[in-house]
Structure formats: structure tokens, C-alpha cells
Amino acid sequence: MPPAAATNLGYTPPDGGWGWAVVFGAFISIGYASAFPKSLAVYFKEIQEYFSVSYSEIAWVPSVMLACMYGGGPVSSILVNRYGSRPVVLLGGLMVGAAMVLASYGTSIIQLYVYVGLIGGFGLAFNLQPALTIIGTYFQVRRPLANGLAMTGSPVILLILAPLNQFLFDSFGWRGSFLILGSIGLNCCVAGALMRPKAEAVDTTEQSASLQTEKGKSQSRSQSCVHRFIDLSLFTHRGFLIYLIGNVVMYFGIFAPVVFLTPYAKHQGIDEYSAALLLSIYSLADIFVRPATGFIGNSKWIRPRIQYFFSFAILYSGVCHLLCPLASGYVGLVVYAVFSGLAFGMVSALLFEVLMDLVGAHRFSSAVGLVTIMECGPVLLGPPISGALVDISGEYNYMYYACGLFMLVPGIFLFIMHYYNYKKLDEEQRQSVAVEMKTSEETVKLQIGPDDKTAHEADR
Amino acid sequence: MHMFYIGDHCSTWTFKYDFTFLNEQLSDFALSVSKTLSTTLHTGESQNETIEVLNPIKLELECTWTGDQDKLPNITVYWMKDENEIENSLFHVLMCIRKCIFISQFLSLVVVSPQIGDVREKPIVSYVGDYVVMTCKMEESKPKPSSWNWYKKNGTDEEQIFPAEEPRYKIKNEDEKTKLVVHNLTEADSGLYYCGAVYAIATTKSPVKLKVITYWEPLKPFLAILAEVIVLVAIILLCEKSQSKKDGATGNQRTYRYSYQEGNSSVRQRKV
């Protein structure tokens, strides 16, 4: 049984064909947007010395970038609603490229804030959003799998970018590296070129066409104005609100555990290389589980109740983090890295699929824009709050307990709320089916009425 | 004279390092910690110890006999420096000016000024016409040098850099770190530089490599990747155009729309 929030696309998505090329394009865009801010750390020390600034001043660069990437969500949504995904991703790719090229000629740290942070951040926002949106136009039946595959871009691209950045830095210093990163960022334009706007296949009979246009007329008048920009009526959408509340809280605890994994390992006396290996193990688990989660989410048992699967993934993450302080020695930490890598991958793979499932593909663009700007706060505040917990207590345990709670509580909340939501949706579905049957009966009666004689004649 | 080596008759050794300053003028840089390093050497073992000091030190070597107290042997201990016996060097009093290596059967001691641990192996890369900042930092736990110098390696010599003579160079010193800023770089500035942490006992030198390249170097890969992007985008868009022409030619009823596809679905059906 398909999810209650039907696509309302008006056509049958191909669920394949060129869709896989689009998934690949999304893989690149989403991957670059997620991985790029994390991979810049290797340049900080030298830039810090070059401009004679403190560490916190240089740390503002990725913070501004993240803030603009999340805050730019609504802007991205508006542009996608008006112009479709492709132009926005092309623009985003150009912005990311230009940002780094300009930054390579930068003469002050403020310029880096503007170029890398502001322009780069918005460029990434114009990549992330549209890439997620276009998947919904090409896939319906296989959408969880498509989403899972596209989200795998994030850890894969990070795995490529991190050593690449180290190599570039050693060969060219920070200026040359930024220049080359500019051209690498332009590859997002290639991803954008792949995001062919979906052709409509009009396959309706006259009868149903007229029925739908009836509905369409009334809906269009009230909604078209809003849809041109951004759909604020989402704030009255029950599913959207549940998702929003759960996610905003969850985001406080989602990134800090992996950010502090290496320092935590070193704190326990583990040497630098083994500690770095933990991150690699985490990434490998993440890469493996994302497509797998997409595949499982697609199965006929999970798909109708995919919200529970998502809630479970969040709950499981919370439990992982709560148990982390119990991990003793290197083996314990390896086990934790595997399990939390799996957890993070599961949550990430389903993150946007469940939103699409709740609001439907055509409202998804606005929905994701509104969600990302709300998540701006937790994303920026999460790691510093965790860091403060570590500094104050001198131990990492309290930070892991806190992050665990930040995920456990939303997980439980989502489970309960979605149980209630599914019940309501089933009710509404039954009601609307009853109404439709009544309407079509009446229409048939009306049509046959005047042509009664003709029909009877034809029957003979 | 028969030489007995340290350790012949002792089963444990206690080495005491006492940082006492022999020259009062140097008391400004006093390191007032007295370190006792106990180490157990068994007969036949050799060991290397490295001690970092600021100033000439007094080194005491003490041997504790842990065997049978009745059978206390008559031990003669000599210090030897570079295979020469030091006169009157029984048990104590050692003056080191720079570096002393004591080789015994069991112990080799290297006494040096505080070392800079954090050495950057790979060169710092900068560009012609730009400036570069090279830093050296002495660890927090180690004593701070009295001053810092910078040297450039010229052939086999190390020439000290004097900012007063060459305004291109600027040296900014803080207690525990130093920065050398070189403006208006040229390719000739590439090479090996040394920062020197000056201590009374010696100057610790640490290498910093500099590589100066032109903007053309990173521009090559940049242009290559740019070309790749343009070619790929062109191929993808051209393929799409030719495919849509084919579809139009075969009378396919599909219509391609490039505006708010993913937006107003409710309006979509009207635009047949």
C-alpha cells in the first residue's frame, strides 16, 4: 500500500532510466555539499599563521559556510519552485567555484568569510536542496533506494576530498589549493547538467481529466501564488510539524559524537594513527549502510510504515551514544565506531526520504527549505555545546550521555507521534476514497442520463 | 692501570641529575627543578639517555651496591670522554659547554639544549610576489629560550638573517615562539631555513623548508579541470537536445516543460 501522502505529481515517475543518471548527479551534489565544509580543516593552521589570527577566528569560516548552507534553504526552495532544479544547481556550482577562486586571491580573513563562507555556503545550499528535490520527480516506487544511493555521496566524497585536500595543500599551499578546489567545485555544474527536468507524460482519459481539472482549478487558484515562492501552509501540515520538531532536537546531538571521536580516543591513551583509523571504520560503516538502508526502506514490509524505520534509526543512534562511555579500550571503541557509523548512515539515508513521504514530492522543495533553516541553530550550536560539556567536566562521558539523550528522546517522540499520524492518515484515506467513489458515481449517472437512448442502442 | 667499567660490580644504578648552575650570571635562566632519574641497569645492558638542559650542569652518577654487603668490592669509576679518561673525574663534577657524549659499556648520555619536537617535514609552499610566515614553537613544558634567531642555508653555510640589514625579512619573537616573515618572495628564496632557540648551553636549531612557486603551477590543474567540466556539460546538454529532436521527429506526444515542473502540480494538468 503506497504511503498516504500521494505524489500528486500528475504523471507516473519513471523509477529508472534517466533517473539513475539523476541519482548520480544528486550523489555528487549532495556529497560535495555535505563533505566540503568538513574537509577544509587541513588548511586552517597555515591560514591562521598567514593572517595572524586566532583559532576561533579561522573557525568562523566553516561556521559561516554551514550557517549559509542551512540558512539558504528557503532561498533555494523558492528558486527551485520557480525554475526547477537544474538551473539552481548550475548556479550553485558556479557560485562554489567562483567562491574558492576569489578566496585564493584573498588578502584578509574577512574576505575569506565572505567568499568561502557566504558565497560558498549559499552555493552549497543551491546544490543540496535541488538535488534532493529532483529525486522525488523521477522516483516513486523505488524512491527510498534512490534516496539512499544519493545520500551515500556524502561519506564517499568526504573519503576522496580529505586526502585530496592534504595532497593539494602539500603541493600548492593554501592559495593554489583554493584555486584548484574552485575548479573541482565546478563539477557540481556537471551534476546539475544531469538533472534533466522531468518530462510530463499526459496519460489521462477525458473523463478523469475533467474530474482532475475540477479539483485542479480550485486548488490552483489558492495555491499557485504560494507555490511560486514557498509553501508556508506546511506549518499546518501535521506530518511536517512532527518531522520538524523531532529533527530540530535530534540535530543537537547528531554531529558531536563523530567530531569528538578522535579526541576521545586520544584521551583514553590511544595513539594518533589508531584514533584516525576509528574514523575510517566509522566512514566505511556509513558508506555501506546507506544504500542498504535505502533498499530495506523500499521493501514492501517497511515502505508503508517507513516513519517507524526512521524513528528506530534515531532511537538506535541514541542508545549507541549512551552506551559509548561503557566501551573500554580500543576494541570497545572500534565496536562503537562500527555501530554508530551504521546508525548515522541509517538516519542520513532516511532523513529526506521520510520528509518526501510525509509531504509529497511537489511540496518537498518548500519543506526541505523550511526544515534546513530551522536546523541552522542546532547544527551550529551542537558541537560547541558538546565541547563546553567536555571542557567543564574534563570527561567525555557527559557529552555522550547528552548526545544520546538528544537522539533518544526525539526517537521516542517520533515513534509515538507517527503512530498517531498513521492512524489519522488511514482515516482520512478511507474518507477521501468514499467521497471519490460517490463523486464518480454521480458523474457517471449524469453522463449516461442524456445519452440513455444512445447507450441502450449501442448495447443491442 | 686497570680499567673498570661502570656497572661491572653493580646491579643497579641510580643516576642523579642535578641542575645546579656553576655560573651565577646565568641564574636568570635558572631551571630550578632538580631531576632524579632512577634507572635500573642490569649487567650487560646498554642504554641511551638524552637530557635536555639549558646551562652547564652538574651530573652525578651514583652506584648502589645491592649485592652482599659484606662483599663490597673496591670499585674505581672513571668518566671517559671520547675514549680519554678525564683526570680527577672520580664520581662527579662535570662541565659541559656544548655537547658531551659519555660512552660506557652500559650507558650513553647525550646532553643537549631543549629540542623542538614539532618539526614540519614537508615544505611550506608560497608564491612569487606573496609573503610567507614561518613559525617555530618551543613546547610549553620546556623552558623558554632567551631569544630566537633565524638562519638561511647557503650552500653548506648557515647565514644568520638580520632584519635590520634586509627589510624584506621581519622577525616577530614571543617567549615561546618565533615568526619569520619574508615579503616579496622570489624563487631564489626557496630552500632550507633554521630557527634557532638560544640557550646558554647551546642554540637549538630546527629546520623549516620553503618552496616558492609561480601562479602558473596551480593554474595548470585548474585549467585542466575547468576544461573537463565544460566538455562534460556540453556533451550532456547536446545529447539531451539531440534526443529531444528525435522524439519530436517521431511524433512523440511528450511535451517538455522547463518551468516550475516540481512546483505547481495541481496546475499541471491544465497545460496539455
pLDDT for the residue A268: 87
Contact A179 B263 (CB under 8 A): no
Contact B222 A182 (CB under 8 A): yes
Kindly report the nearest CA distance between residue B162 and chain A, in angstroms. Answer: 21
Kindly report the nearest CA distance between residue A32 and chain B, in angstroms. Answer: 15
* A105 in reach of chain B (CB within 8 A): no
Q: What rounded mean pLDDT belongs to chain B?
A: 67
* Contacts with A137 from chain B: Cβ below 8 Å: 261-262
Enter the C-alpha cell of residue B264: 505547481
Please identify among residues 143-162 of chain A the ones whose CB lies closer than 8 Å to any CB of chain B: none
Contact A46 B124 (CB under 8 A): yes
* A210 in reach of chain B (CB within 8 A): no
Least confident range of A60-74, A267-281, A353-367, A395-409: A267-281
If you average pLDDT over residues A327-353, what whole number do you get? 94
If you average pLDDT over residues B71-87, what whole number do you get? 50
Pick the CATH number of A230-437 from 3.40.640.10, 3.30.70.580, 1.20.140.10, 1.20.1250.20: 1.20.1250.20
Least confident range of A245-249, A314-318, B32-36, B214-218: B32-36
Which of A335, A344, A337, A336 has the alpha carbon at shortest distance from A286? A344
Contact A362 B265 (CB under 8 A): yes
Q: What rounded mean pLDDT belongs to chain A?
A: 88
Residue of B nearest to A9 (CA): B265
Contact A223 B125 (CB under 8 A): no
- Which of A49, A133, A172 lies nearest to residue B133, judging by beta carbons? A49
pLDDT for the residue B80: 52
* Contacts with A10 from chain B: Cβ below 8 Å: 265, 268-269
A23-60: b or e for each residue (b if 16 or more CB lie within 10 Å)? bbbbbbbbbbbbbbbbbbebbbebbbbbbebeeebbeb
Q: What is the pLDDT of residues A423-441, one digit of tens each?
A: 999 999 999 999 999 988 8
Sorted by sequence, the CB contacts under 8 Å of residue B225 that are 6+ apart come out as A180, A183, A184, A186, A187
Separation CA B179–CA B170 (nearest Å): 8
If you average pLDDT over residues A139-166, what whole number do you get? 94
pLDDT for the residue B157: 85
Please identify among residues 334-363 of chain A the ones whose CB lies closer than 8 Å to any CB of chain B: 361-362
Separation CA B116–CA A173 (nearest Å): 23
Domains A10-198 and A230-437 fall in the same CATH topology: yes
pLDDT for the residue B175: 86
* A8 in reach of chain B (CB within 8 A): yes
* Contacts with B195 from chain A: Cβ below 8 Å: none
What is the third-level CATH fold of B124-215?
Immunoglobulin-like (2.60.40)
Are B194 and B153 within 8 A, CB to CB?
yes
Kindly report the nearest CA distance between residue A384 and chain B, in angstroms. Answer: 25
* A217 in reach of chain B (CB within 8 A): yes
What does DSSP say about strands B47-52 and B107-112: parallel, antiparallel, or unpaired?
parallel
Contact B260 A84 (CB under 8 A): yes
If you average pLDDT over residues A160-172, what whole number do you get? 92
List the alpha helices (DSSP H) in A300-328: 306-323
**Residue A273 pLDDT more than 90?**
no
- Which of B124, B132, B229 lies nearest to residue A187, judging by beta carbons? B229
**Residue B32 pLDDT more than 60?**
no
- Which of A177, A219, A362 lies nearest to residue B263, judging by beta carbons? A362
Q: What are residue B255's DSSP bridge partners?
A: A200
Other C-beta atoms closer than 10 Å to the C-beta of A4 total: 19
pLDDT for the residue B251: 52
Size of interface A-B (CB pairs under 8 A): 148
Domains of chain A, residue spans: 10-198, 230-437
If you average pLDDT over residues A218-234, what whole number do you get? 61
Q: What percent of chain A has pLDDT over 70?
A: 89
**Where does the pLDDT of residue A192 fall: very low under 50, low under 70, confident under 90, or very high at 90 and above?**
very high
**Residue B41 pLDDT more than 50?**
no
Q: What is the CATH number of domain A10-198?
A: 1.20.1250.20
**Where does the pLDDT of residue B12 fall: very low under 50, low under 70, confident under 90, or very high at 90 and above?**
very low
Q: What percent of chain A has pLDDT over 90?
A: 68
Residue of B nearest to A178 (CA): B218
How long is chain B?
272
Q: What is the pLDDT of residues A82-139, one digit of tens each?
A: 999 999 999 999 999 999 999 999 999 999 999 999 999 999 999 999 999 999 999 9
* Contacts with A11 from chain B: Cβ below 8 Å: 268
pLDDT for the residue B250: 61
C-beta contacts of A229-232 below 8 A and 24+ residues apart? A229/A78, A229/A81, A229/A82, A230/A74, A230/A77, A230/A78, A230/A81, A230/A366, A230/A369, A230/A370, A231/A81, A231/A363, A231/A366, A231/A367, A232/A366, A232/A370
Domains of chain B, residue spans: 12-112, 124-215
The pTM of this model reads: 0.77
Contact A227 B269 (CB under 8 A): no
**Residue B258 pLDDT more than 60?**
no
Kindly report the nearest CA distance between residue A369 and chain B, in angstroms. Answer: 14
If you average pLDDT over residues A291-314, what whole number do you get? 95
Contact A220 B232 (CB under 8 A): no
If you average pLDDT over residues A265-288, what whole number do you get? 89
Residue of B nearest to A50 (CA): B133
What does DSSP say about strands B147-154 and B191-198: parallel, antiparallel, or unpaired?
antiparallel
**Where does the pLDDT of residue A41 fall: very low under 50, low under 70, confident under 90, or very high at 90 and above?**
confident
If you average pLDDT over residues A359-367, what whole number do you get? 90
If you average pLDDT over residues A195-203, what whole number do you get? 66
* A203 in reach of chain B (CB within 8 A): no
Contact B261 A212 (CB under 8 A): no
pLDDT for the residue A162: 87
